[in-house]
Structure 1
Amino acid sequence: MRAHLAPRAPGGAPPPPSAVSGARQFWRRLRAQRAALVAAAVVALLVLVALAAPLLTALEGQDPTSYHPALIDSARGGVPVGSLGGIGADHWLGVEPQTGRDLFARLVYGARVSLGVALGATVVQVVLGLAMGVAAGLGNRWVDLVLSRVTDIFVAMPLMIMALALLAVVPDGFPRPVLVALVIALVSGWSTTAKMVRAQTLTLKNLDHVAAARLSGWSTGRIAVRELLPGLAAPVITYAALLIPANISAEAALSFLGVGVKPPTPSWGQMLTSADVWYQAAPQYLLLPAAALFVTVFALTVLGDGVRVALDPRAASRLRIGTGRKREARATVRKEDRA
Structure 2
Amino acid sequence: MSEARAAVEPAGTDTTVPAASGAHQFWRRLRAQRAALAAATVVALLVLVALAAPLLTALEGQDPTSYHPALIDSARGGVPIGSFGGAGADHWLGVEPQTGRDLFARLVYGARVSLGVALAATVVQVAIGVTVGVASALGNRWVDQLLSRATDIIVSMPLMIMSLALLAIVPSSVPRPVLVTLVIGLIAWGNIAKIVRAQTLSLKGLDYVSAARLSGWNTWRIACRELLPGLAAPVITYAALLVPINISVEAALSFLGVGVKPPTPSWGQMLTAADVWYQAAPQYLLLPAGALFVTVLALTVFGDGVRAALDPRAASRLRIGTGRRDKTGKTGKTSGADKAAADRGADTAGNSAGSPNSAGSPNSDKEATV
CA distance in 2, matches of 1:204, 1:71: 64
Tell me the residue number matched to 1:206: 205
The Cα offsets for residues 220-269 of structure 1, whole Å up to 9 and x where unpaired, read as 10000001001000000000000000000000000000000010000000
Pair 1:63–1:3, CA change in 2 (3 A): closer
Tell me the residue number matched to 2:266: 267
- Counterpart of 2:136, as a letter, is A
SS in 2 for 1:240: helix
Instruction: Kindly indicate whether the alpha-carbon contact (under 8 Å) linking 2:4 and 2:209 is maintained by their aligned counterparts in 1.
Output: no
Tell me the residue number matched to 1:301: 300
Tell me the residue number matched to 2:89: 89
Tell me the residue number matched to 1:102: 102
Instruction: Kindly indicate whether the alpha-carbon contact (under 8 Å) linking 2:267 and 2:288 is maintained by their aligned counterparts in 1.
Output: yes
Pair 1:8–1:289, CA change in 2 (3 A): farther
Instruction: Kindly indicate whether the alpha-carbon contact (under 8 Å) linking 1:117 and 1:181 is maintained by their aligned counterparts in 2.
Output: yes
Pair 1:131–1:184, CA change in 2 (3 A): same
Structure 2 unmatched runs, 5+: 322-370
CA distance in 1, matches of 2:113, 2:104: 14
Pair 1:170–1:218, CA change in 2 (3 A): same
CA distance in 2, matches of 1:99, 1:180: 26
CA distance in 1, matches of 2:28, 2:317: 15
Trace 1:1-339 onto structure 2 (pairs within 5 A): 5-6=5-6, 18-188=18-188, 190-319=189-318
- Counterpart of 1:31, as a letter, is R
The Cα offsets for residues 175-218 of structure 1, whole Å up to 9 and x where unpaired, read as 11111011011111x11000000000110011111111111111
**What's the CA shift for 1:19?**
3.6
CA distance in 2, matches of 1:148, 1:198: 9
Instruction: Kindly indicate whether the alpha-carbon contact (under 8 Å) linking 2:120 and 2:181 is maintained by their aligned counterparts in 1.
Output: yes
- Counterpart of 2:222, as a letter, is I
TM-score (norm 1): 0.90
Runs of 4+ deviating beyond 4 Å: 13-18, 319-322
Pair 1:138–1:80, CA change in 2 (3 A): same
Instruction: Kindly indicate whether the alpha-carbon contact (under 8 Å) linking 1:242 and 1:305 is maintained by their aligned counterparts in 2.
Output: yes
- Counterpart of 2:140, as a letter, is N
CA distance in 2, matches of 1:181, 1:139: 29
Pair 1:75–1:8, CA change in 2 (3 A): farther
Deviates more, 1:171-180 or 1:152-161: 171-180
| Superposed CA RMSD | 1.8
**What's the CA shift for 1:4?**
5.2
The Cα offsets for residues 273-317 of structure 1, whole Å up to 9 and x where unpaired, read as 131211121111000000000000000000000000000000122
Sequence identity (%) = 81
CA distance in 2, matches of 1:75, 1:165: 40
CA distance in 2, matches of 1:228, 1:271: 44
- Counterpart of 1:304, as a letter, is G
TM-score (norm 2): 0.83
The Cα offsets for residues 25-49 of structure 1, whole Å up to 9 and x where unpaired, read as 0000000000000000000000000
Higher relative contact order (CA 8 A, sep 6+): 1
Instruction: Kindly indicate whether the alpha-carbon contact (under 8 Å) linking 1:7 and 1:15 is maintained by their aligned counterparts in 2.
Output: no
Structure 1 unmatched runs, 5+: 323-339
**What's the CA shift for 1:84?**
1.4
SS in 2 for 1:6: helix
Instruction: Kindly indicate whether the alpha-carbon contact (under 8 Å) linking 1:7 and 1:227 is maintained by their aligned counterparts in 2.
Output: no
SS in 2 for 1:264: coil
**What's the CA shift for 1:5?**
3.4
Instruction: Kindly indicate whether the alpha-carbon contact (under 8 Å) linking 2:8 and 2:211 is maintained by their aligned counterparts in 1.
Output: no
